[in-house]
C-alpha cells in the first residue's frame, strides 16, 4: 500500500462532466482568499510528480490541468499573488500567505503558450475533467521518495486506469517536439 498519491486518485477517479462550464478557485487562506474565475472546463488534467507543481499536504503528486489563459481572471486579492520562480518556463502565481498555487502562465514562445496551469481541486464545484494520466512519476524520487516504492506507485495509478510516464503523455510530448522542430526550421519528411 502506497502513501497518499493524491486524494483525487487514492480512492479511484470520479469522472468529470464534459459539459461543465467552469467555476471558481480559492486559495487556502481562512480569510481574504485569492479568488480566480475559470470560464471553461480544464483539459489534459493529470498527476504531476515534479518538485515545482503545488501538491496538497501529504500528497506525493500534484493534479494539474490546462485552460486557455483568456478564460482565467483574478476576482479578489490579486495583491497577495507572487511568482514563485520568475526564471521558470511556467510562472506559478502563488498566494504569499498560504502557499497555494492559483495559476501557472507561460510568457515565452512555447508549445503550451496561451494555456494556464490550474489545480481544479481549489474549487468546490464538481464536473472538472478527471485526471487523464500521470507524468513526471520518477521525479518523486528527487524529493525523497524511496525508489523501492516506485512499482507500488505505478501499480496504484494503473489500478485506477491511468498510464504513467516520466515526462508527459505521448500526445503532449509530440506537441513539444513539433514546436522544437518548427523553431529549428526542421522540415517534416513526407513519408
Ligand X SMILES: N[C@@H](CCC(=O)N[C@@H](CS)C(=O)NCC(=O)O)C(=O)O
* Binding of residue 182 to ligand X (CB under 6 A): no
Q: Toward ligand X, which CB reaches closer, 40 or 169?
A: 169
How big is the site for ligand X, counted in residues (CB under 6 A)?
11
* Residue 50 annotated as binding site: yes
**Per the residue annotation, which of 36, 53, 59, 90 is the catalytic one?**
53
Contact 145, 5 (CB under 8 A): no
- Tell me the three cell numbers of residue 35: 479568488
**Per the residue annotation, which of 5, 8, 25, 50 is the catalytic one?**
50
Q: Distance between CA atoms of 108 and 21, rounded to whole angstroms?
A: 28
Minimum Å distance from CB 138 to ligand X?
8
* Binding of residue 90 to ligand X (CB under 6 A): yes
E strands, 1-113, are: 23-26, 35-38, 43-48, 62-68, 72-76, 81-83, 90-95, 101-106
Contact 116, 65 (CB under 8 A): no
Residues carrying an active site annotation: 48, 50, 53
Binding positions for Zn(2+):
27, 29, 48, 50, 53, 95, 98
Interface residues with ligand X (CB under 6 A) are 48, 50-53, 88-90, 136, 139, 142
Amino acid at each position: 500500500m502506497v502513501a497518499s498519491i493524491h486524494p483525487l486518485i487514492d480512492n479511484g477517479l470520479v469522472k468529470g462532466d464534459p459539459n461543465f462550464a467552469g467555476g471558481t478557485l480559492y486559495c487556502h487562506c481562512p480569510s481574504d482568499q485569492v479568488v480566480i474565475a475559470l470560464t471553461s472546463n480544464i483539459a489534459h488534467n493529470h498527476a504531476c510528480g515534479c518538485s515545482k507543481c503545488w501538491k496538497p499536504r501529504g500528497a506525493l503528486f500534484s493534479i494539474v490541468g490546462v485552460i486557455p489563459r483568456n478564460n482565467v481572471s483574478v476576482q479578489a486579492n490579486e495583491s497577495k499573488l507572487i511568482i514563485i520562480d520568475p526564471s521558470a518556463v511556467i510562472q506559478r502565481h502563488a498566494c504569499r500567505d498560504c502557499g497555494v498555487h492559483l495559476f501557472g502562465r507561460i510568457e515565452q514562445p512555447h508549445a503550451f503558450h496561451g494555456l494556464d496551469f490550474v489545480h481544479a481541486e481549489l474549487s468546490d464545484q464538481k464536473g472538472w475533467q478527471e485526471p487523464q494520466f500521470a507524468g513526471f512519476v520518477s521525479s518523486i524520487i528527487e524529493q525523497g521518495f524511496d525508489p523501492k516504492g516506485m512499482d507500488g506507485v505505478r501499480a496504484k495509478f494503473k489500478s485506477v486506469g491511468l498510464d504513467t510516464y516520466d515526462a508527459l503523455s505521448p500526445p503532449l510530448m509530440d506537441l513539444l517536439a513539433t514546436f522544437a522542430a518548427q523553431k529549428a526550421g526542421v522540415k517534416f519528411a513526407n513519408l
